Amino acid sequence: MELNQNKKYTIELASIFNRFIAINIDFIIIAIAYFLLYYIIDILIPVSESLLIALLRFIGVIVIPWFYFAFQETTGNYATIGQKIMGIKVTDEYYRNISFGRSTARFFLKMYLSAMLLSSIGFVIAFFTKKKQALHDLIVKTIVIKDTGETTEKPVEKVIKVCGDCKTVYHPNKSDFAKGTFICPICGKENIIWNKK
């Protein structure tokens, strides 16, 4: 990936307050959807069919919230309605959009580990971590950032370079990127990261 060396890259973490408001907006939307589904089922299905009602309630309590979060965090704006309103989005640790699988894991860990099993202690952890990551974020390696509306052009891939002489694996840092080269710590050879134009 060739870098635009003249562009400043700033990524700002979302505040815990904005995250809290966003998730509450999302749960209000999910609750409305759940109650609509529940009343439609109640009208259409006789009470005697309790197994079917239990199945549909499961869909309303598990499937709708899971799909709501996982689908929205991985398509379109890469944010739920609540996150979009609050101007935040979920990314991986390199500021890339997350996959459906990672969003799914994040949802179930958030709901059933951070919230229920640990009585919200999993959320409180966000106050004490450097990147404001809750327990579920730490496990699936996600962070919540302010969404500026721009595509993140930061060199977000975990860049690994190999020395041309001794084949030592090296992770270039910011100053290496600025110079366009890195010095191998083993043999001292200067290696090119990207071609300057």
Q: What is the DSSP string of 32-99?
A: HHHHHHHHHHHHHS-TT-HHHHHHHHHIIIIIHHHHHHHHHTTSTTSS-HHHHHHTEEEEETTSPBPP
pLDDT value for 154: 46
pLDDT value for 1: 35
pLDDT value for 10: 61
pLDDT value for 101: 93
The answer, as to whether pTM is greater than 0.75, is no
Alpha carbon of residue 132 to chain centroid? 12
pLDDT value for 156: 41
Amino acid identity of residue 56, one-letter, is: L
Give, for all 197 residues of the chain, the pLDDT tens digit. 344 444 444 678 899 999 999 999 999 999 998 888 777 777 776 666 677 677 777 887 888 999 999 999 998 778 999 999 999 999 988 788 899 999 999 999 988 887 676 667 888 888 999 889 999 999 999 999 988 765 554 444 455 677 777 776 666 776 666 677 778 777 788 877 754 44
Residue 38 falls in which region: left (phi positive, over 0), alpha (psi -120 to 50) or beta: alpha
DSSP 8-state class, residue 12? -
- What span, in angstroms and rounded, lies between the C-alpha atoms of 97 and 89? 9
